[in-house]
Amino acid sequence: MSNGGNGKYQAKLEAFRTVESWGRLITTLSAGVLALSATFIRYIVGPDVEIVYSGVLFSAWVFLALSLVGGVLLLGALSHHLNQDEPEDLNIYASSIKWSGLVAWWAFILGIALFVLFVGLNL
Domain boundaries, the chain: 3-122
Q: What's the chain's average pLDDT?
A: 86
Query: In the prediction, which pLDDT does 5 show?
Result: 62
pLDDT of residue 38: 81
pLDDT of residue 108: 96
Torsion angle in degrees (nearest 10) through CA of 88, 92, 96, 98? -160
Count Cα neighbours of 2 within 13 Å in the Cβ-side half-sphere.
2
Q: Which amino acid is at 61?
A: W
pTM: 0.83
**Cα 60 to Cα 53: distance, rounded to the nearest angstrom:** 11
More confident residue, 18 or 6: 18
* Least reliable range by pLDDT among 50-54, 87-91, 97-101: 87-91
- Give the contacts of 58 (CB within 8 A, at least 6 positions apart): none
Confidence band, pLDDT 50/70/90 cuts, at residue 37: confident
